[in-house]
């Protein structure tokens, strides 16, 4: 696994932040100048790739691709493989990503000013496509297996892992680099801010993202990248790999309705599919990493779905978005990294800022503080615009 | 603009922006074979030259430009 987010630039830093319940949210002054309703965002440090990568491998990476390079580099080392391995084995890549705005906007600005597209430069095309992350990483690491990007709004990263799992289960690949990436530049989120989806609690950024809390007022956009090396079990054992966990169930569904309105029924079906495939019941789930983004409607409907399953067994539930903000296209992958770190170190990271529940969230066992807890099985939810839902059930190998 | 000034400006962007090794910047170096400039690099060189020297390279005028010396001469012919 590898992670590069507003909680830290690697697994060790992120683990510490999760344990401490540290928020990665801050203010981006450029957003104020640009006319954002809310300048709140996850603060992600730009990686310095000069010296790590040659110009020709570096310049086609968009912002989210740079993050993904960092998280993937960490994941590859963690998995005990190197570039030589990719030469001798067919390894694939599937990432969740659903925008790459900065290069598109810069291209437009140059063409508008110069009236000449040949002055845009060579990098914009490779930075501006949704598949920018997978096209670049497959080139950098010289991958020879499946190579594509999954675009499914805020469930992209989760679906990428789910689809990767299906390819492996069907014997089509032995190993796939899966993940999610999300840009954080001010050019990428203006239209999202424009529909008043973001929290305006700017007086105290660390308290702005408050999933499930009665006084939540919107999400806080964030970003970075997360990478997981998923692999056929026998293949991993045969090469002596360290194994974090098993992807035991992947459930998906579509709400079949409104483009932005969430649905408890759609969430519920995806969760149920994942649990059925994993052969678990609610009492077998030790922890739920909720999608909950801190929007009034989204959290309400997810809490309604979760209450049907997890109110009675009092399953521990948190949304790590309380600390990270909403990592959007990346979230479904990063939250598997966060939850697997919790599984590895036997704790549940807090749902910070949860002070008072609403009609459904008060029925749930949501912890605002870190809890020591052995996790053998967890559920991770991801939902997105257009009614796309993804749920993953992960089991430890204990 | 003197030839020395042109050489300095061209070498600066080749080193800093195209990241070509300074030691490879010899007058008789072939742009493609010796300096490794490919078609995508050339797209960026067009942008940089427009920004640095204020004119747009026309690909048809570059057909006979094979070496770095010839490139300096071509720039000189456009700016002077």
pLDDT of residue B44: 97
pLDDT at res. A83? 86
**Same domain for A289 and A179:** no
User: For residues A94 and A92, what is the distance between their CA atoms, to the nearest angstrom?
Assistant: 7
Range of the domain at A76: 2-238
Do A199 and A301 lie in one domain? The reply is: no
A116 contacts in chain B (CB < 8 Å): 56
Taking CB atoms and an 8 Å cutoff, what residues of chain B touch A56?
40
Domains of chain B, each with CATH number or no CATH = 3-79 (1.10.1200.10)
CATH number at residue A32: 3.40.47.10
**Which of the residues A57, A103, A121, A136 would you substitute to probe the B interface, choosing the one with the greatest number of B C-beta atoms within 10 Å?**
A121
Nearest chain A Cα distance for residue B28, angstroms: 24
Residues A106 and A218 in one domain: yes
Cα distance from B56 to chain A (closest Cα, Å)?
9
By the 8 A CB rule, do A74 and A227 touch? yes
The residues of A that are catalytic are 154, 291, 326
**Which residues of chain A have a pLDDT value below 50?**
none
Q: Domain tally for chain A?
A: 2
Is A118 in contact with B44 (Cβ distance < 8 A)? no
Positive or negative, the Cα torsion across A61, A65, A70, A76? Answer: negative
Q: Answer yes or no: do A89 and A115 share one domain.
A: yes
pLDDT surpasses 90 at B41? yes
Global pTM? 0.96
User: In whole numbers, what is the pLDDT of chain A averaged over residues?
Assistant: 97
Q: Residue A398's pLDDT is what? A: 79
Residues of B at the A interface, defined by Cβ within 8 angstroms: 18-19, 40-41, 43-44, 46-47, 50, 56
The pLDDT assigned to A80 comes to 97
Same-domain check for residues A226 and A316:
no
Does A231 share its domain with A300? no
Specify whether A256 is located in the same domain as A388.
yes
């Amino acid at each position: 696994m590898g992670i590069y987010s507003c909680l830290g630039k690697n697994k060790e830093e992120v683990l510490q932040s999760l344990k401490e319940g540290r928020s990665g949210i801050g203010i981006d002054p450029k957003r104020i100048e640009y006319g954002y309703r809310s300048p709140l965002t996850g603060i992600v440090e730009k990686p310095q790739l000069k010296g790590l990568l040659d110009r020709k491998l570096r310049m086609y990476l968009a912002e989210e691709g740079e993050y993904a390079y960092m998280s993937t580099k960490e994941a590859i080392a963690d998995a005990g493989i190197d570039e030589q391995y990719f030469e001798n084995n067919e390894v694939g890549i599937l990432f969740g990503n659903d925008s790459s705005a900065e290069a598109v906007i810069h291209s437009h600005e140059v063409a508008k000013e110069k009236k000449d597209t040949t002055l845009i430069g060579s990098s914009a095309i490779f930075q501006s496509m949704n598949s920018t992350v997978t096209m670049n990483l497959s080139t950098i690491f010289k991958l020879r297996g499946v190579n594509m990007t999954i675009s499914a709004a805020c469930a992209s990263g989760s679906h990428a892992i789910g689809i990767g799992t299906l390819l492996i289960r069907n014997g089509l690949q032995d190993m796939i680099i899966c993940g999610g990436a999300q840009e954080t530049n001010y050019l990428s989120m203006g239209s999202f801010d424009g529909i008043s989806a973001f929290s305006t609690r700017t007086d105290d950024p660390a308290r702005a993202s408050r999933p499930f809390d009665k006084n939540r007022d919107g999400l806080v956009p964030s970003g970075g990248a997360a990478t997981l090396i998923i692999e056929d079990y026998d293949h991993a054992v045969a090469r002596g790999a360290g194994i974090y966990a098993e992807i035991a169930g992947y459930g998906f569904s579509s709400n079949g309705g409104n483009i932005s309105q969430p649905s408890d029924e759609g969430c519920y079906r995806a969760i149920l599919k994942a649990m059925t495939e994993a052969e678990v019941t609610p009492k077998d789930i030790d922890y739920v990493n909720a999608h909950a983004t801190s929007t009034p409607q989204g959290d309400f409907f997810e809490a309604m779905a979760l209450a049907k399953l997890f109110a009675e067994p009092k399953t521990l539930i948190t949304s790590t978005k309380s600390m990270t903000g909403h990592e959007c296209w990346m979230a479904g992958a990063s939250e598997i990294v966060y939850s697997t770190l919790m599984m590895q170190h036997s704790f549940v990271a807090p749902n910070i800022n949860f002070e008072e529940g609403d009609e459904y969230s008060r029925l749930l066992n949501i912890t605002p503080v870190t809890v020591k807890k052995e996790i053998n099985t967890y559920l991770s939810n991801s939902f997105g615009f257009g009614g796309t839902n993804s749920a993953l059930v992960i089991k430890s190998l204990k | 603009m003197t030839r020395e000034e042109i050489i300095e400006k061209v070498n600066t962007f080749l080193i800093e922006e195209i990241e070509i090794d300074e030691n490879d910047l010899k007058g008789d170096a072939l742009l493609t074979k010796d300096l490794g400039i490919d078609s995508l690099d050339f797209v960026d060189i067009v942008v940089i030259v427009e920004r640095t020297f204020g004119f747009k390279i026309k690909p048809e005028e570059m057909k006979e430009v094979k070496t770095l010396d010839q490139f300096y001469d071509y720039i000189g012919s456009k700016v002077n």
